[in-house]
Chains A and B, each alone.
Chain A
Amino acid sequence: MWRRIWALIIKEFFVIWNDRRSRAVIIVPPLIQLMVFGYAATFDVSHIATAIYNEDGGAAATTLVSSFSGSPAFNVLYHLDAQRQIAEKIDSRAVSLVIHIGPTFSRNLLSGRPATIQAIVDGRESNTALIILGYVNQIVETFDQRWSLKTHQPLPPAQLVTRYWFNPNLQSRWFIIPGIVALLTMVVTIVVTALTIAREREVGTFEQLLVTPFSPLEILVGKSVPALAIGISEGTFIILAAVLWFHVPLRGNVGLLYGGLLLYILAVIGIGLMVSSLARTQQQAMLGAFLFVVPAVILSGFATPISNMPHFIQAITLANPMRYFLVIVRGLFLEDLPASVVIAQLWPMAIIATLTLSGASWLFRHRTT
């Protein structure tokens, strides 16, 4: 029996490996994507295109302007000299931020009255806009503190001291790259499994396979093992790249990480094989793979946190294996996640894997073309 399964595994490997284009699809795009996304996927905002409209000629206004142009977060591109230019620059997306200092700024400041400046941001990308406003507030706060010290004004009775744990410099790359381990492993595994059975059904070789002495379980193992091997090597490669190339700290237990990776890939293979055996044609199988991958990525917490989602969407995410693996991979990379938390993520993936794999093997025989 084991020799039979082994033969099937070898055959499946050949199907993927002997086609030059199919082989390239497994190796090249993930490599490029890791590099590109590793650098591209960041929530950190820098070099904010800024214009300054300074109607006040005073020294205080000049100091404030220079603290903007001196900060690496801002890239002051224009100095405006008319109100209407503000709309021109923002509308055409030439700048994302305009700082407007009114003509009475220095006078108010020197006489002890509250002085205001206007910060106008492009709200078409409100996440970036919010981050920009945060930076503007920081610059102004620093300016205020210096001004208070210089003019001997009293300080507030309590200070807020903020520390960020696990990622002290708030680099979103540390958050995104472990996520890419989950993302690319899933995409490659789905791509390898989703079309396999649909293609055999379309060509007619699946009926031949079914009349051989293979049991559905043996077919399942034969189809799963190559995908599992490809998925594990893909995951390993990205984990290595994260540590050696992107220098993301790996603080947790590697054994736990691989336990999670194994169950995650098995769950994804189960889903891929189920899609594949449900589909009548390759086109339908591909549609099915898409219908799983796209929501799975968006509703996994990869880019936006699950806790921000409404409750009924949060309930849907419970069926998504990527959600659990993301917690494991991010937690083990940055935080040295306790084993109890890892195990709490492992068993839902084990359930998903059992259900989908047994579903797929049942469908092998009961789905007739």
Chain B
Amino acid sequence: MRPGDTSLPDTQKSSSGSAGLRLFGLVYKEALQIIRDPSSIAIAFVLPIILLLLFGYGVSLDAKHVPLGLVIEAPSPKTSDFAAALSHSEYFNVIRLPDRNKAITAMLSGRINGIIVLRSDFARKLYSASGAPIQAIINGTDANTARIISGYVQGAWQTWLIHYNLDHGQSITAPVSVEQRMWFNADIRSRNFLIPGLIAIIMTLIGTLLTALVVAREWERGTMEALLVTPVRIDEILLGKLIPYFVLGMGGMTIATVMAVWVFGVPFRGSVLALIGVSSLFMLAALGMGLLISTLARSQFVAGQVAIIIAFLPAFILSGFIFDIASMPGLVQLLTHIIPARYFVAALQSLFLAGTLWQVLLSNSIALAIMALVFLGVTRMRTSKALE
């Protein structure tokens, strides 16, 4: 019943034939094994669809309808002007609260993310030389969200200022203003940069997962020794493992790209050929990493544990997909260079949003090729040692 047993008749047949035939036999054996245990096919084709749907909709840095408490200590026409400016913003869901203490309780219990206080002297001080203070208290626990909310409050305040000045016949404009240009992603959709990054994360997972258990399983069941005593060369064994999973992985990559463009509407501005090239190199590196884990671990239990810990978390945190690499400490930045996903994220973001930029593609492709060579080379060395 063990699918691995099919290797025996195949290799016996090919021992008399050419190397090509032998390799074909191995690939055929591996393909049969994949078809008989559908979990590999599920990893390659179903996993990218589920993950991309979940992440594509789930990961978003665009905050909208932020619950914000508004405390007006002495209501007047002046304060209601400001309240209206806040309520009109689509970014806020303004909740009126009677006093500061109630507002603080609401923030502590997590019902609101920030408090705006207009003190009782707001209307009077508006006409004074020092100006009236508007107090904004923002929950800083989530620093990133706090910064975004603060930007929105600032925006609402500026809108109110312009209207106020117009109503009073004054034109106070800032001496210098900034004209903002966001290249490659003009409408600032975080989805546009997150989805190419997510594809890189998902493909890291799939590539590593596909091969992580393959060799370990053969060692554990003893079929690896059986394979090693046949005339099949080690390169042929590794290629026989690599080719079918490479085909599966590239199939998953195709599904992910098609979904990014057609389901999520991410623009694709580069060339398809360049995408295939970079993806192939990345897939070799990821599969190589899986094979290496599998070869070193020799037990499915350990290989599985290592793959979960090594493949997913570093790709998620150190690839630059969500956390900026340039802001990390120098030592950690060095470490990101051994994460294949880092190069793939950079290449994919450029290919999707900017176009075929050779300056970006070339350096990242070379890095991926080196990583693939190292992983596969070390795997080959470790396997041949085991033969002795």
- Chain A residues packing against B (C-beta within 8 Å): 19, 21-22, 25, 29-30, 33, 36-37, 39-49, 64, 90-93, 96, 109, 114-131, 133-134, 136-137, 140-141, 143-144, 147-148, 151, 153-168, 170-172, 174-175, 183, 187, 190-191, 194-195, 199, 281-287, 289-291, 293-295, 297-299, 303-305, 307-310, 312-313, 316, 327, 330-331, 334-335, 337-338, 340-341
Contact = CB atoms under 8 A, between A and B. Distances in A.
Given A127-B190, A303-B322, 19 more contacts: A19-B299, A36-B332, A40-B335, A93-B350, A118-B179, A121-B181, A131-B147, A158-B82, A165-B140, A167-B140, A191-B305, A199-B300, A290-B308, A294-B205, A295-B58, A299-B58, A304-B322, A338-B109, A340-B109
Most A-side CB within 10 Å, residue of B154, B175, B181: B175
B232 interface: no
Nearest to A314: B58
A36 B335 contact: yes
Contact of A117 (B107, B139, B176, B306): B176
Most A-side CB within 10 Å, residue of B55, B62, B209, B327: B327
Nearest to B116: A160
B143 A43 contact: yes
Contacts of A125: 193, 320, 324, 349
Contacts of A30: 309
Contacts of B285: none
A298 B55 CA distance: 7
Contact of B39 (A37, A190, A284): A284
Interface stretch (B222-230, B270-278, B351-359): B351-359
27 contacts: A22-B302, A42-B327, A44-B327, A114-B173, A118-B178, A119-B180, A120-B181, A123-B184, A124-B184, A126-B185, A127-B322, A147-B175, A151-B175, A153-B172, A154-B172, A158-B160, A158-B164, A159-B131, A162-B153, A175-B141, A283-B217, A286-B307, A287-B42, A299-B54, A304-B61, A308-B61, A338-B108
A283 B183 contact: no
A108 to B, nearest CB: 9
Interface string B34-73: 0001010011000100110011011111111110000000
A156 B154 CA distance: 13
Given A159-B132, A161-B133, A33 B313 contact: yes
Contact of A47 (B126, B129, B153, B326): B326
A166 B104 CA distance: 12
Contacts of B265: none
A36 B318 contact: yes
A308 B64 contact: yes
B183 A121 contact: yes
Nearest to B64: A308
B322 to A, nearest CB: 6
A41 B136 contact: no
Nearest to A284: B39
B312 interface: yes
Contacts of A309: 57-58, 60
Contact of A29 (B39, B209, B309): B309
Given A43-B144, A341-B110, A304 B179 contact: no
Given A25-B302, A156-B161, A129 B182 contact: yes
B146 A109 contact: no
Interface in B281-327: 297, 299-302, 304-310, 312-314, 316-318, 320, 322-324, 326-327
Contacts of A137: 178
Given A284-B39, A304-B61, A308-B63, A155 B350 contact: no
Interface of B: 37, 39, 42-43, 47, 50-51, 54-55, 57-66, 82, 107-110, 122, 126-127, 129, 131-148, 150-151, 153-154, 157, 160-161, 164-165, 170, 172-186, 188-190, 192-193, 205, 209, 212-213, 217, 297, 299-302, 304-310, 312-314, 316-318, 320, 322-324, 326-329, 331-332, 335-336, 346, 349-350, 353-354, 357, 359-360
Nearest to A156: B161
Contacts of B154: 160, 162
Contacts of A122: 183-184
Contacts of A22: 301-302, 305
Nearest to B67: A307
A141 B154 CA distance: 12
A168 B209 CA distance: 42
B164 A134 contact: no
B177 A114 contact: yes
A166 B139 contact: yes
A298 to B, nearest CB: 5
Contacts of A39: 328-329, 331-332
Given A134-B147, A166-B139, A126 B132 contact: no
B177 A116 contact: yes
B138 A163 contact: yes
Contacts of B176: 64, 109, 114-117, 140, 143-144, 147
Contacts of B47: 291
Contacts of B327: 42, 44-47
Contacts of B37: 281, 283
A277 to B, nearest CB: 16
A123 B147 contact: no
B174 to A, nearest CB: 5
A286 B308 contact: yes
Contact of A153 (B142, B175, B307): B175
Contacts of B131: 155-159
A66 B332 CA distance: 30
B43 A287 contact: yes
Q: Which 6 A-B pairs have the closest CB atoms?
A: A123-B185, A164-B140, A167-B140, A92-B359, A43-B144, A286-B304
Given A40-B328, A126-B188, A294-B205, A330 B323 contact: no
A40 B317 contact: yes
Nearest to A333: B141
Contact of A327 (B110, B326, B357): B110
Contact of B299 (A21, A92, A159, A298): A21
Contact of A175 (B62, B108, B142, B153): B142
Nearest to A139: B178
A293 B308 contact: yes
B46 to A, nearest CB: 10
Contacts of A168: 140
Contacts of B132: 157-159
A330 B110 CA distance: 12
A165 B153 contact: no
A304 B127 CA distance: 42
Contact of B179 (A117, A130, A163): A117
